[in-house]
Amino acid sequence: MEIITSQKNPKVVSWRSLRDRKGRRALDAFLVEGVRMVHEALSSGFSIQSLLLREDFQPSFPLPESVPAFVLSEQVFASVCDTKTPQGIAAVLDRRVLPLHGSKLIALDGVQDPGNVGTIIRTADAAGLDGVLLSPECADLFSPKVLRSTMGSIFRMSFSFPASLPSALYDLRSKGYSVLSSQLDGDPFFSRKDVSSSFVLIIGNEGNGVSDAVKKESTHHLCLPMRGGAESLNAAIAAGIMMYDLIRSY
């Protein structure tokens, strides 16, 4: 393994650039941190460019000989990672995901909080949905906080990044999908009718909700009941309730 002790090393400079969206796009790569995420990546079949190990780290699982591994000094490793207390292992992967497929989908319409985006993806994976559509206004799927929040579900879910979410929903509707817009002025969610077993649930922006253009492409406009004093729910919490209930129906 090559040992790197300088933060000016060209490889270190490129790895450090993966902390921001511009760098990830320029290198067409992203970085995952921590034992669980790296183990998930190694088990996923995704293309891994490099493994990065802090000099004092001892892996608890075998590392593939086919993937280049680099040992970094503590200071250099910390400069590459986004977390304040990195666990000692990271991996650089090609910026690829599984292409969208399946009949049970969720679409994020301008969900901007990285924690919400990652948590919704993780919950969709747990509930048994197949894929996620992300509008251009969403938080970057490959950002460190989104990746951490997915807890590895990024490697199991399928994704689409349509330039126009309304157009993508129109295409799905024309294929027989029910398109469910979650909105505060919608019909009662638990009394919904005529929802196909092929559906796409839409979660809107934290402040503004589902956009008007997306609402126009929806077959259903639904709202969770608010029997208490709260006016709304966190986007990820609302998504989780609806996803599990939709899956329970089929």
For residues 89 and 110, membership in a common domain is answered with no
Query: Is it the case that residue 60 has pLDDT exceeding 90?
Result: no
CA distances from 125 to 85, 109, 133, 210 (A): 27, 18, 14, 22
Alpha helices in the chain (DSSP H): 10-17, 21-27, 35-44, 74-80, 114-127, 144-150, 165-174, 212-216, 235-248
For residues 110 and 40, membership in a common domain is answered with no
For residues 49 and 110, membership in a common domain is answered with no
In this prediction, residue 217 carries a pLDDT of: 98
For residues 177 and 222, membership in a common domain is answered with yes
In this prediction, residue 45 carries a pLDDT of: 84
Q: Which residue has the higher pLDDT, 242 or 62?
A: 242
CATH of the domain at 25: 3.30.1330.30
Q: 106 is in which domain, residue-wise? A: 99-248
For residues 236 and 115, membership in a common domain is answered with yes
In this prediction, residue 250 carries a pLDDT of: 84
Query: Is it the case that residue 1 has pLDDT exceeding 90?
Result: no
Q: How many domains does the chain have?
A: 2
For residues 14 and 90, membership in a common domain is answered with yes
Mean pLDDT of the chain: 96
Query: pLDDT-derived band of residue 155, with 50, 70 and 90 as boundaries?
Result: very high
For residues 221 and 148, membership in a common domain is answered with yes
CATH of the domain at 120: 3.40.1280.10
Mean pLDDT, residues 140-162 taken together: 97
For residues 119 and 235, membership in a common domain is answered with yes
Query: pLDDT-derived band of residue 111, with 50, 70 and 90 as boundaries?
Result: very high
For residues 89 and 198, membership in a common domain is answered with no
The two three-digit tokens of residue 19, written as one number:
């902390």
Please state whether beta strands 158-160 and 104-109 pair in parallel, antiparallel, or not at all (unpaired).
Answer: unpaired
Tell me the residue type at 75.
Q
CA distances from 42 to 1, 91, 145, 163 (A): 18, 9, 20, 30
For residues 108 and 195, membership in a common domain is answered with yes
Query: Is it the case that residue 137 has pLDDT exceeding 90?
Result: yes
For residues 126 and 77, membership in a common domain is answered with no
Those residues whose C-beta lies under 8 Å from the C-beta of residue 119, and which sit 6 or more positions away, are: 149, 236, 240
For residues 108 and 207, membership in a common domain is answered with yes
Tell me the residue type at 80.
V
